[in-house]
Structure 1
Amino acid sequence: MLIRGATAVALAAASLTVASATNAQLVSHKDLSLATALAIATGAAEHCKAQKFTVSITVVGREAQILVQLRGDGSPPHTIENSYRRAYTALTYRKPTVDVEKEVRADPLDPLVHLTLVMPAQGGLPIKVNGDTIGAVAVSGSPAGQTDQGCAQAGLDKVADQLK
């Protein structure tokens, strides 16, 4: 009797799986193009260069994959990794890294901060389209996080019309 009940449950589960598979749909979303990512990175680089800052810039896509990474002439070696980690953090938290930094200062036990790539330091911004985070941009190497963030924002401003 118990075997028949288990068999009936298994058959019901199998039929649900088949039914859901036939109704399955592909996920549709916007992604950053290489051209847009490059425009963001160069916009950020130009803004920093105009202020005589030697920086590195990273633009990542929605899966944290590097789309564009630039290292300015004379930029210290650590800035390339820092810019990636800030972009990763902005993407992961879906908010500017300055906000993440404030949250971590308020709650140092935040478990996400212990992830290898999370860097709660100002300079990273999420890239959003209609509230959907499709990537992030981050800068490292200027004299302060505020100026890093300003350069990242300049990159986003350069393509604002494309992010609507």
Structure 2
Amino acid sequence: MPHFRTLVPAATVIALGGVLALAGCAPLAGSDAATEDAADGAAAVVDVAEQNTVSSQRLSAATAATAALAHCAADDLGSVSVAVVDRQGELQAFVRGDNAAQHTVEASRQKAYTAAAFGADTSDLVERADENGLHRLPGTLFMPGGVTVTVGDASIAGIGVGGAPSGVDDQSCAAAGLAAIADEIAG
């Protein structure tokens, strides 16, 4: 049987935009040295990848959303919407209270995103937004009613409430959603 040589070394490492991958297929059969070199190269790539991998934490968002809505309903503020978004602003959970107006849907999502993106409660960001013109950032809403969900120093999500008679009430309901998942976050 003829013996063929590969043109690409078995364990060539290629860096593309910071992502490492092995190039070349399997080493030639019967070549113990090539097999060992490929295994060493693969192990090196795995080590580098593990050192340069970022993990993200997520929460079970439904608990936060329903707890925030329940808090508003208990305070006779049931005409609100509650949104929970992840760090990137993707909607994870949403509940709309009875008689909540249409504008509360987007307001709750924007407050949640603003809290998650800036890693701070929106009530704490109002003055900063006024000073720096942050109001112009698309998809954000710098009004009370959004709370950040953090693990350690990292913001992992945001809870936003819109539709209560005041931003203070929205903020209180969002904080109740955060309190409902505090044990999950601390765990």
- Matching residue's letter, 1:142: A
Q: Does 1:44 align with 2:71?
A: no
Match of residue 136, structure 2, among 106, 114, 122:
114
The structural deviation recorded for 1:30 is 1.4
- How far apart, CA to CA, are the structure 1 residues paired with 2:49 and 2:173? 42
CA distance in 1, matches of 2:152, 2:15: 33
Q: CA deviation at 1:159?
A: 1.4
Matched, 1:150 2:172: yes
Deviation of residue 20 (structure 1)? 7.3
Q: Which runs of 5 or more structure 2 residues have no equivalent in the other structure?
A: 1-11, 21-44
| Kept after mapping to 1: 8 A contact 2:87/2:117 | no
Q: Which moved more, 1:16-25 or 1:120-129?
A: 16-25
2:56 is matched with which residue? 29
Which is richer in helix? 1
CA distance in 2 between partners of 1:136 and 1:96 (Å): 9
Match of 1:17 in 2: 15
Letter of the structure 2 residue corresponding to residue 137 of structure 1:
I
RMSD: 2.0
- Secondary structure at the counterpart of residue 66 of structure 2: helix
Matches within 5 A, 1:67-146: 67-105=92-130, 107-110=131-134, 113-146=135-168
Deviation at 1:162, TM superposition (A): 0.7
Distance in 1, Cα, partners of 2:132 & 2:182: 34
2:83 partner SS: strand
- Give the letter for the 2:69 counterpart: A
Residue 104 to residue 27, structure 1, CA distance change in 2 (3 Å): closer
User: CA offset at residue 15 of structure 1?
Assistant: 7.3
Q: Which amino acid aligns with 1:119?
A: L
- When the two structures are aligned, how many residues end up with a matched partner? 145
Max radius of gyration: which structure?
2
After superposition, the Cα gap between the structure-2 partners of 1:20 and 1:64, relative to the gap in structure 1 and judged at 3 Å, is closer
1:162 aligns with 2:184: yes
How many angstroms does 1:62 deviate by? Answer: 1.9
When normalised by structure 2's length, the TM-score is 0.72
Q: Structure 1: which 4+ aligned runs deviate by more than 6 Å?
A: none
Give ranges in structure 1 of 5+ residues lacking alignment.
Answer: 1-13
**What is the match of residue 3 of structure 1?**
none
Structure 1 pair 40–15 and aligned structure 2 pair: CA distance change class (3 A): closer
TM-score when scaled to structure 1? 0.81
